[in-house]
Structure formats: structure tokens, C-alpha cells
Amino acid sequence: MSLFSKLFGKKSEEVSSRNVEDFVSLTRVYFQSVIAANLGITNIRFVPDVANFKRLFKIPTQGGRLGQAEKAASRKMLMQDYGISENFFKEIDASVKKHCRTQNDVQSYLFLYQGFSNDLMMLMGNLMQWKFRLPSFFKGALRTMTEKTVHEVCTKTVWKKDDVHKTAANVRQYKERLGYSEQWMSEYVYNVVMLAKKEPKPKEEK
């Protein structure tokens, strides 16, 4: 995953991108499942990540409504495998309910979310830099630093570097438009960082 390879200054084969991709993909599955369930979407091609998830884990449609079973399954995986909190899902539910009232709203909403996610991660990579490379056993300190940096992004309006200033402004705009809190942003960033930091298993000697 080139985005995370750049963030951590590692070659792509040195980053445990599979786990990062699993986390990001499961999050997308949850988003799309909520949208499908709320809007009564029946065409599974409209929610491609849900379609792949459904096929991979052989999840039957619950009560004839697409999204219900997939939402519950992806939520369970995110909580069990990655320790995601209840509030993380509540904020997604509230944001989707507010901004996706018709199927015409869905593509623009997902486009906004993708921009939010990309800009947030690139900005955090720029601001935290070497802190991302702390050993994983410093996870408590890393979580605190992540929360502090996210708070600065959400409250500090003047930055020395023009590119940081512009990206921080973009992230604040995305945050306000989508309705996500600092806590949600911190939890998302922290999990991506911890997954991307995992070192590959050493190759067996011949």
C-alpha cells in the first residue's frame, strides 16, 4: 500500500499492508452496509465492498434486507480483531444517517470520506514523523501523541509550512461536513499506525 509505505519510510514489502488493508476494507464494508440498510438498497453492485465481503465470508442476507447481516458481521470483526470501540460505530451511523438520505447522496458522501481519510493520514504522517517509528510496545505513548496531534489539527489554525496549513484546513472542513469527532479521528489513525508498524516475520534460514 503506497500511502502507508511513504508514511513509514519503508519499502512496500516491509510493511504489513495486509492487516492495514483488512482494517480499512472492513471499515468501508461497515460504511456501505449502513448505507445499504438505511436506504433499502437491493442492487449489490452499488456497494462493491459489501459484495466482496459477503462472497468471501458466505454471509446470508438477513430478513431479505441487504446490509443488516453484513453490518453486524463487519462490526463484530472490527471490535474483536482490532479493539474498535462502540462510539466509533455510533459516529459512522450518525454521519451516514444525516448525510445519506437518498441514493443520490451516497457517491458524494463516500468521495468526501475518502478525501478525509487520505488527507488525515498524510497530515498525521507529516506532523508525527519519527514518532510513528516508535517500537510497538510504546503503544500507550503513541496513542497519547496521536490524540494530541489530532487535537492540534482540529484547533490550530496557523501552521508554518504552507502544505501543512492547507491540508490541516482541508481536514477540518471534512471533519465538520462529515460530523466526526477528534476521538473518532484518533482511533482511526492510531489503529492504522499500529497495524502498519508491525514488522514482517523473519525469513527462515536455509
Rounded to two decimals, what is the model's pTM?
0.83
For residue 133, what pLDDT is reported?
67
On the question of pLDDT at 1 being above 80, the answer is no
Mean pLDDT of the chain: 85
For the cut 70, the answer to whether the pLDDT of residue 15 exceeds it is: no
For the chain, percent helix, then strand, then coil, each to nearest 5? Answer: 75, 0, 20
**Per-residue confidence (pLDDT) for residue 64, from 0 to 100:** 86
46 vs 205, which has greater pLDDT? 46
- pLDDT, residue 79, reads 95
Rounded CA separation 94/200 (Å): 37
Q: What 8-state DSSP symbol labels residue 200? A: P
pLDDT of residue 196: 77
Predicted local confidence at residue 199, as pLDDT:
44
Please report how many Cα atoms fall inside a 13 Å half-sphere around the Cα of residue 4, on the Cβ side. Answer: 24
> What pLDDT is stored for residue 118 in this prediction?
92
Q: Which region, left, alpha or beta, applies to residue 85 given φ > 0 means left and ψ of -120 to 50 means alpha?
A: beta
Each residue of 121-141: pLDDT tens digit?
Answer: 899 888 887 666 667 667 888
Choice among 38-42, 170-174, 180-184, 197-201 with the minimum mean pLDDT: 197-201
Integer-rounded Cα Rg, in Å, for the chain is 18
Q: How confident is the model at residue 195 (pLDDT cuts 50, 70, 90)?
A: confident
For residue 142, pLDDT beyond 90: no
User: Which of these ranges, 1-5, 80-84, 123-127, 170-174, has the smallest mean pLDDT?
Assistant: 1-5
pLDDT at residue 205 above 70?
Answer: no
User: What confidence category does residue 13 fall into, taking pLDDT thresholds of 50, 70 and 90?
Assistant: very low
According to the model, what pLDDT value does residue 152 have?
Answer: 96
- pLDDT above 90 covers a percentage of the chain that reads 67
- Write the single-letter amino acid at 62: Q
CA 116 to CA 59: how far, in whole Å? 30
